[in-house]
């Protein structure tokens, strides 16, 4: 049962939440878990379907627009609604529509099978006039045919024969959800998609929509089939939607299948042809077969990514739930990425943030490097925008990646907590470095990584300056969005330092391994020896603030001079603070929305002593509100690192069930992808203490006392390894590849086939 998430609730508020929790996606499309019977209306429902990376350009209106403020932003669009499949029972004036809110629900359960890759609703229901029926609806977004979303319904009569009508709709009259009171949700309610083509083709309904500004199209083709020889179909259409009505007498269990195919003009040239061909290619493939293929795909996924925890079933379920939704949201085509809410909802308008690099890429780097490569290639594909943005922002050179984006340009209209987060460029560089350390894939560094490292390093040279013999970076914002536009944010400086060091290293690697390539690369990017020296010097002289009295790293130059936030007198309902205080009020205090310096210590531990890391953890813990969902998991991992295992466990629990328990109160707007990634990291990086370093793979395994054992697989430089941490020992199995050295608590261990290291 730890592979199944279930809900028995028909409560309207819970159903809204479950639209995110039970969404169906495959990295290309995402369909919220809305009800087929379509009887709820906003704000009780956020009906939605999305194509990863499909957007419109939306003008940003400012009261006072300053130089280089972005004029437009991209917005992921809610596309054609295909989910409706109403079930009508009876005839004439006794005709009644199935709804969980009317009639009598005899039994109800909704399930998500993360091992099989589909969701299901099972309902036994009685209408007011006494018809009783069992309804089963399965839904899946196919991982093997990414364009396909299927709803497979079976109806079983309980109270004799029942006249039935299934009314299936395809609706092109769509717009996005808005919430003007929450800056994390869109507030542009304009209709951005217009119907450009509507056709009934080949017994299927086709709608093509075009965006108003970005000039992109998305197409949807859907058909309905009923496994009953006496069915009659009726097709109708109005200005914006198609309706297909299937009428039959339900005498025995009957299957009704609705297939919907999606395609968009970013990826395909001839949308209608593409979809008609896909439909016919799959015409003879049964739902059972599609379902089996889905399961095979997931078997492979879980063989690489699963984390097993013995001794805590609830947590086990939560971790698998999180990993499954990450998979469902991950763009794997090099032109899309992982939005902050994945493909589960509209929060943060479908934008890609640093969330991917710091919280999600580690999973793929260590379990499926091919997918990691695709995510990195997406960043490479927007490098030219990042270079243009650097120039626009007054730099002479370099790449400044956008804080939030879909197609590559900056979408943040609030620059203090947006564009000012320059660290995103170093975060991206960091993920290329991590990928290289895990794979040794120099070919990929030649193709993309080296260029990204050079261009991001150039940004730091231009953004920073020397003062008092050290290299400093002024007027930036670190990850903590409650402290903005500061000088020498520790996180930014230490990440920039790594970026600069690796820009030099990668050049040496290229030079050593392929002189011809290096010469051409050097010329193309106009890299000079002088420039490499400037990278090296800036890295060596990077100013990393340290407070000699507290013996911690101050978050920035003035952070410790501020007054501390008075947590004791802030009512509970005033969190998150960003919804209740003007930013300036917040900026005047020592109060952190999320891990900042603590995260820097997690990512780069070599720069500080154990004592500074410990002191910093305890200092920042007291002033962090964790208003960002990206926070608890980092505190969990660092608590484990400094030996506070109980604390690590408590933070981990908060992070693992954040969406399942809706602890941030906004899961209805979409799942918190970075936090979900943070739970995988919580175990592998937190409790097992994995670090990827130039010297190899390092571990500091620990076992929370609440568990009997946990285990996971990692891929490392063409090897597959399985790690198990139990009360007795830490054992490592080399499942594929040649022997290697790893480091456990700093001691070198040669892994041949099987090694067990005592935990005591
Ligand atoms: C966090 C950012 C994060 C964004 C998207 C914000 O609340 O402060 O760090 O990138 O959410 O998840």
pLDDT in the model for residue 475: 98
pLDDT in the model for residue 185: 76
pLDDT in the model for residue 182: 78
Q: Residue 358 — φ and ψ, nearest 5°? A: -90, -30
Question: Is 594 annotated to bind ligand?
Answer: yes
Q: Give the pairing of strands 740-744 and 696-699.
A: parallel
Rounded-to-integer distance, Cα 278 and Cα 285, Å: 11
Rounded-to-integer distance, Cα 450 and Cα 429, Å: 9
Token duo for residue 191: 């209709």
Residue nearest to atom 12 of ligand 1 (CA): 340
Which atom of ligand 1 lies nearest, measured to the CA of 672? 12
Our answer on whether the CB atom of 481 is closer than 6 Å to any ligand 1 atom is: yes
Which atom of ligand 1 lies nearest, measured to the CA of 674? 12
pLDDT in the model for residue 203: 87
For 362-416, how does the pLDDT look when each residue is reduced to its tens digit (9 = 90+)?
Answer: 999 999 999 999 999 999 999 999 999 999 999 999 999 999 999 999 999 999 9
Pocket test for ligand 1, best of 593, 625, 628, 658 (most atoms within 8 A of CB): 628
Q: Does any domain span residue 614?
A: no
pLDDT in the model for residue 622: 98
CA of 338 to the centre of ligand 1 (A): 13
For 28-65, how does the pLDDT look when each residue is reduced to its tens digit (9 = 90+)?
Answer: 999 999 999 999 999 999 999 999 999 999 999 999 99
> pLDDT band for position 464 (50/70/90)?
very high
Question: Is 565 annotated to bind ligand?
Answer: no
Q: Does any domain span residue 172?
A: yes
> pLDDT band for position 485 (50/70/90)?
very high
pLDDT at position 228 over 90: no
Q: Which of 208, 455, 481, 607 is catalytic?
A: 481
Average pLDDT over every residue of 280-286: 98
Burial of 663 (0-12, 13-18, 19+ CB in 10 A): middle
Q: Tell which residue, 88, 74, 711, 663, has the closest CA to residue 336.
A: 74
Average pLDDT over every residue of 93-121: 97
Average pLDDT over every residue of 425-437: 98
Q: Does any domain span residue 560?
A: no
Our answer on whether the CB atom of 641 is closer than 6 Å to any ligand 1 atom is: no
pLDDT in the model for residue 251: 97
Rounded-to-integer distance, Cα 16 and Cα 33, Å: 9
Pocket test for ligand 1, best of 674, 675, 678 (most atoms within 8 A of CB): 674
Our answer on whether the CB atom of 358 is closer than 6 Å to any ligand 1 atom is: no
CA of 714 to the centre of ligand 1 (A): 28
Which atom of ligand 1 lies nearest, measured to the CA of 417? 8
Q: Tell which residue, 73, 84, 133, has the closest CA to residue 108.
A: 133
Our answer on whether the CB atom of 674 is closer than 6 Å to any ligand 1 atom is: yes
Our answer on whether the CB atom of 594 is closer than 6 Å to any ligand 1 atom is: yes
Instruction: Please report the DSSP string for 68-131 in residue order.
Output: T--SEEEEE----B---EEEEESSGGG-EE--TTSSEEEEEEEEEETTTTEEEEEEEEE-TTS-
For 143-163, how does the pLDDT look when each residue is reduced to its tens digit (9 = 90+)?
Answer: 999 999 999 999 999 999 999
Any catalytic annotation for residue 481?
A: yes
Token duo for residue 170: 């395809």
Q: Does any domain span residue 288?
A: yes
**What are the CB-based long-range contacts (under 8 Å, 24+) for 17-20?**
17/662, 17/667, 17/668, 18/110, 19/45, 19/46, 19/47, 19/48, 19/345, 19/668, 20/341, 20/344, 20/345, 20/659, 20/667, 20/668, 20/669, 20/670, 20/671
Which residues form the domain of 164?
4-301
Q: Does any domain span residue 390?
A: no
Q: Residue 175 — φ and ψ, nearest 5°? A: -150, 175
**How many residues comprise the chain?**
760
Our answer on whether the CB atom of 664 is closer than 6 Å to any ligand 1 atom is: no
pLDDT at position 183 over 80: no
Rounded-to-integer distance, Cα 706 and Cα 728, Å: 14
Average pLDDT over every residue of 658-680: 97
Cα→Cα distances 8→17, 18, 49, 101, 120, Å: 13, 11, 24, 14, 12
Q: Does any domain span residue 627?
A: no
Rounded-to-integer distance, Cα 119 and Cα 138, Å: 6
Tell me if 488 sits within 8 A of 543, measured CB to CB.
yes
Q: Domain total for the chain?
A: 1
pLDDT at position 489 over 90: yes
pLDDT in the model for residue 760: 77
Residue nearest to atom 11 of ligand 1 (CA): 628
Tell me if 538 sits within 8 A of 471, measured CB to CB.
yes
Strand ranges for 646-739 from DSSP E: 691-693, 696-699, 709-716, 719-726, 729-736
Q: Tell which residue, 507, 497, 505, 498, has the closest CA to residue 528.
A: 507
pLDDT in the model for residue 637: 98
SS3 per-residue string spanning 609-640:
CHHHHHHHHHHHHHCECCCCCCCHHHHHHHHH
The CATH number of residue 138's host domain is 2.70.98.40
What is the number of other CB atoms lying within 10 angstroms of the CB of residue 734?
Answer: 17
CA of 355 to the centre of ligand 1 (A): 7
Residue nearest to atom 6 of ligand 1 (CA): 628
pLDDT in the model for residue 184: 74
Q: Residue 449 — φ and ψ, nearest 5°? A: -60, -45
Rounded-to-integer distance, Cα 750 and Cα 539, Å: 33
Cα→Cα distances 588→3, 475, 591, Å: 47, 16, 9
Q: Does any domain span residue 222?
A: yes
Our answer on whether the CB atom of 133 is closer than 6 Å to any ligand 1 atom is: no
CA of 630 to the centre of ligand 1 (A): 7
Q: Does any domain span residue 512?
A: no
pLDDT in the model for residue 311: 93
Residue nearest to atom 5 of ligand 1 (CA): 340
How far is C-alpha 707 from the geometric centre of its chain's CA atoms?
28
Our answer on whether the CB atom of 423 is closer than 6 Å to any ligand 1 atom is: no
Q: Tell which residue, 185, 264, 11, 330, has the closest CA to residue 669.
A: 185
pLDDT at position 611 over 80: yes
For 544-579, how does the pLDDT look when each residue is reduced to its tens digit (9 = 90+)?
Answer: 999 999 999 999 999 999 999 999 999 999 999 999
pLDDT in the model for residue 179: 79
Rounded-to-integer distance, Cα 723 and Cα 717, Å: 16
pTM for the model stands at 0.97
**Average pLDDT of the residues of the chain:** 97
SS3 per-residue string spanning 296-311:
HHHHHHHHHHCEEEEC
pLDDT at position 480 over 80: yes
Token duo for residue 262: 């999606």
Tell me if 108 sits within 8 A of 137, measured CB to CB.
no
pLDDT at position 202 over 90: no
Cα→Cα distances 26→147, 153, 552, 728, Å: 9, 20, 44, 39
Our answer on whether the CB atom of 697 is closer than 6 Å to any ligand 1 atom is: no
Residue with tokens 């010469």: 519
């Amino acid at each position: 049962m730890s592979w199944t998430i279930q809900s028995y609730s028909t409560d309207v508020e819970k159903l809204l939440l479950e639209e995110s929790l039970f969404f169906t996606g495959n990295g290309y499309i995402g369909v919220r878990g809305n009800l087929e019977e379509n009887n709820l209306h906003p704000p009780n429902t956020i009906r939605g379907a999305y194509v990863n990376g499909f957007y419109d350009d939306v003008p940003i209106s400012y009261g006072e627009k300053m130089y280089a403020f972005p004029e437009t932003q991209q917005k992921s669009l809610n596309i054609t609604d295909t989910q409706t499949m109403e079930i009508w029972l009876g005839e004439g004036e006794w005709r009644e529509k199935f709804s969980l809110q009317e009639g009598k629900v005899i039994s109800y359960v909704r399930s998500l099978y993360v091992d099989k890759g589909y969701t299901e609703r099972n309902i036994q229901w009685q209408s007011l006039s006494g018809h009783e029926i069992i309804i089963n609806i399965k839904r899946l977004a196919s991982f093997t045919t990414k364009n396909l979303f299927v709803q497979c319904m079976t109806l079983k009569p309980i109270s004799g024969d029942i006249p039935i009508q299934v009314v299936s709709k395809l609706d092109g009259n769509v717009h996005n959800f808005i919430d003007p009171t929450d800056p994390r949700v869109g507030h542009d309610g304009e209709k951005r998609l217009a119907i450009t083509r509507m056709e009934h083709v080949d017994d299927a309904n086709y709608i093509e929509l075009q965006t108003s500004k970005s000039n992109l199209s998305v197409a949807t083709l859907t058909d309905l089939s009923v496994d009953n020889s006496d069915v009659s179909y009726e097709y109708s259409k109005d200005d914006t939607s198609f309706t297909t009505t299937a009428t039959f007498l339900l005498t025995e269990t009957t299957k009704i299948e609705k297939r919907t195919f999606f395609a968009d003009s970013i990826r395909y040239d001839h949308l209608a042809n593409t979809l008609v061909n896909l439909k016919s290619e799959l015409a003879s493939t049964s739902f059972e077969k599609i379902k089996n293929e889905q399961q095979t795909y997931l078997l492979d996924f879980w063989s690489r990514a699963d984390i097993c925890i013995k001794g805590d079933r609830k947590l086990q379920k939560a971790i698998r739930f999180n990993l499954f939704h990450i998979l469902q949201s991950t763009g794997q085509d090099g032109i899309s990425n992982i939005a902050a809410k994945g493909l589960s909802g509209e929060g943060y308008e479908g934008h890609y943030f640093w969330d991917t690099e710091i919280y999600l890429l580690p999973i793929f780097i260590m379990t499926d490097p091919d997918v990691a490569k695709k995510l990195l290639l997406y960043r490479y594909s927007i490098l030219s925008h990042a270079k243009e943005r650097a120039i626009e922002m007054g730099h002479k050179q370099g790449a400044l990646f956008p804080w939030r984006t879909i197609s590559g340009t900056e979408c943040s209209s609030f620059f203090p907590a947006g564009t000012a987060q320059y660290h995103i460029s170093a975060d991206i560089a960091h993920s290329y470095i991590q990928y290289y350390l895990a794979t040794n894939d120099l070919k990929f560094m030649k193709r993309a990584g080296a260029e990204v490292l050079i261009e991001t390093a150039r940004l730091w040279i231009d953004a920073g300056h020397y003062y008092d013999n050290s290299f400093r970076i002024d007027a930036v914002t670190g990850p903590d969005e409650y402290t903005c536009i500061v000088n020498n944010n520790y996180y930014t400086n230490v990440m920039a330092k790594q970026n600069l060091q690796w820009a030099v290293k990668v050049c040496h690697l290229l030079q050593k391994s392929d002189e011809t390539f290096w010469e051409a690369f050097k010329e193309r990017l106009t890299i000079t020896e002088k420039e490499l020296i400037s990278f090296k010097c800036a890295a060596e002289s990077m100013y990393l603030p340290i407070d000699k009295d507290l013996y911690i790293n101050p978050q920035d130059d003035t952070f410790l001079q501020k007054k501390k936030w008075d947590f004791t007198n802030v009512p509970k309902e005033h969190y998150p603070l960003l919804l209740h205080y003007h930013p300036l009020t917040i900026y005047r205090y020592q109060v952190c929305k999320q891990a900042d310096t603590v995260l820097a210590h997690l990512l780069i531990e070599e720069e500080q002593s154990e004592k500074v890391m410990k002191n910093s953890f305890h200092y920042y813990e007291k002033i962090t509100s964790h208003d960002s969902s990206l926070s608890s998991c980092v505190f969990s991992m660092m608590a484990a690192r400094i030996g506070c295992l109980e604390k690590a466990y408590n933070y981990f629990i908060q992070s693992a069930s954040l969406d399942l328990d809706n602890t941030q109160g906004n899961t209805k707007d979409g799942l918190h992808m970075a936090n979900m990634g943070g739970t995988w990291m919580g175990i592998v990086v937190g409790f097992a203490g994995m670090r990827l370093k130039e010297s190899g793979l390092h571990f500091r395994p620990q076992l929370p006392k609440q568990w009997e054992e946990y285990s996971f697989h990692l891929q490392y430089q063409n090897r597959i390894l399985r790690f198990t941490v139990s009360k007795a020992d830490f054992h490592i199995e080399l499942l594929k590849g040649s022997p290697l050295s790893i480091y456990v608590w700093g001691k070198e261990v040669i892994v041949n086939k099987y090694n067990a290291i005592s935990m005591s």
